[in-house]
Amino acid sequence: MDLGLAGKRAFVSGSTQGIGYAVAEALLREGAAVVVNGRDEERVAAAAERLRAVVPGAEVTGLAADLADAGQTQRLLERLGDVDVLVNNVGTFEVKELADLTDEDWQRHVDLNLMSGVRLSRHLLPRMLAAGWGRVLFVGTESAVDVPAGMLHYGATKAAALALANGLAKLTRGTGVTVNTVLGGPTYSDGVAGTVRHLAEQQGVPEEALKAAIIGANRTTLLERFLEPAEVAHLVVYLASPLASATNGTALRADGGVLTTTV
């Protein structure tokens, strides 16, 4: 199937690794030009280099900026120019109990998980509306709908981003622009793998055993395994394509069946 993405230009926030990197790779494989992002110039350049190696002829460039920071985001937007596709992927997460969560923890999650999407969309969505076509995607999570007790700051800020996407879609009425969210489930991204590896070392158990125990403790997953980043990325890339023209203002799941209701 040709998704019709050749010739489109996309920006993927937080794409030096994990789901963002997989989205960038999948977009490049469809012939889109992609701008990748992370906080560090060298890591951004290395990610672009890796993508060029796996997707021959890939039109990939990079822009480093900390998207939790308003000033750095503004400077990135000045250098970025117009895009057809904005993928609000960047996000941070950690397990921390309510009593241990400081105001700083909450603010860090607000700044990255919510405000990065606010700032990027505020700048880029009006340009898409003026151009008459565009796609804004949010990489969301099942934790926004079924908030984990040990990750309240993560769930609450991702719920806010889900609401943001719903509201932004209302600005697209009668245009060729859409705004949607993909609700991912437990995904063995580089970030999650790093955390599991660290815990496995601390506990003196093999990474694979801990990985299996974590997903085994998830009572609702129908897949009974972690997702691979590409499995989330494929739905994002479909929604980014012209083929998804009738899907707007919604949240679709690539969550392995973790959520137990249909709406």
Ligand X SMILES: NC(=O)c1ccc[n+]([C@@H]2O[C@H](COP(=O)([O-])OP(=O)(O)OC[C@H]3O[C@@H](n4cnc5c(N)ncnc54)[C@H](OP(=O)(O)O)[C@@H]3O)[C@@H](O)[C@H]2O)c1
Alpha-carbon 226 to chain mean position: 17
In the complex with ligand X, the residue whose CB is nearer, 173 or 197, is 197
Contacts of 58 (CB under 8 A, 6+ apart): 28, 34, 51, 52
Q: Quick check: 190 binds ligand X (CB under 6 A)?
A: yes
- Per DSSP, what are the bridge partners of residue 87? 12, 137
d(CA 249, CA 10): 19
Element (H, E) at 88: strand 85-88
Q: Quick one: DSSP state of residue 227?
A: B
Is 145:259 a contact under the CB 8 Å cutoff?
Answer: yes
Query: Which listed residue (8, 9, 17, 240) binds ligand X by CB under 6 A?
Result: 17
- What length does the chain have? 263
Listing DSSP states for 113-149 in one string gives IIHHHHHHHHHHHHHHHHHTEEEEEEEEEGGGTS--G
Query: How near is the Cβ of 160 to ligand X at its closest, in Å?
Result: 12
In the complex with ligand X, the residue whose CB is nearer, 154 or 244, is 154
Query: Which listed residue (3, 23, 86, 192) binds ligand X by CB under 6 A?
Result: 192
Find the Cα–Cα–Cα–Cα dihedral 81, 87, 118, 47, rounded to 10°.
-70
Q: Quick check: 34 binds ligand X (CB under 6 A)?
A: no
In the complex with ligand X, the residue whose CB is nearer, 16 or 221, is 16
d(CA 106, CA 152): 9
Query: How near is the Cβ of 128 to ligand X at its closest, in Å?
Result: 21
d(CA 23, CA 34): 10
Is 82:10 a contact under the CB 8 Å cutoff?
Answer: no
Query: How near is the Cβ of 131 to ligand X at its closest, in Å?
Result: 25
154 is catalytic: yes
Contacts of 167 (CB under 8 A, 6+ apart): none
120 to 159: interface string for ligand X, x by CB under 6 A:
-------------------x-x----------------x-
Query: How near is the Cβ of 252 to ligand X at its closest, in Å?
Result: 13
Q: Quick check: 256 binds ligand X (CB under 6 A)?
A: no
Query: Which listed residue (181, 189, 221, 241) binds ligand X by CB under 6 A?
Result: 189
Alpha-carbon 6 to chain mean position: 21
Selected range binding ligand X among 1-9, 89-97, 129-137, 201-209, rule: CB under 6 A: 89-97
Query: Which listed residue (20, 62, 117, 155) binds ligand X by CB under 6 A?
Result: 20
60 to 79: interface string for ligand X, x by CB under 6 A:
------xxx-----------
In the complex with ligand X, the residue whose CB is nearer, 17 or 241, is 17
217 to 246: interface string for ligand X, x by CB under 6 A:
------------------------------
Which residues form the interface with ligand X (CB under 6 A)? Answer: 14-20, 37-40, 43, 66-68, 89-93, 112, 139, 141, 158, 184, 186-187, 189-192
Which active-site residues does the annotation give? 154
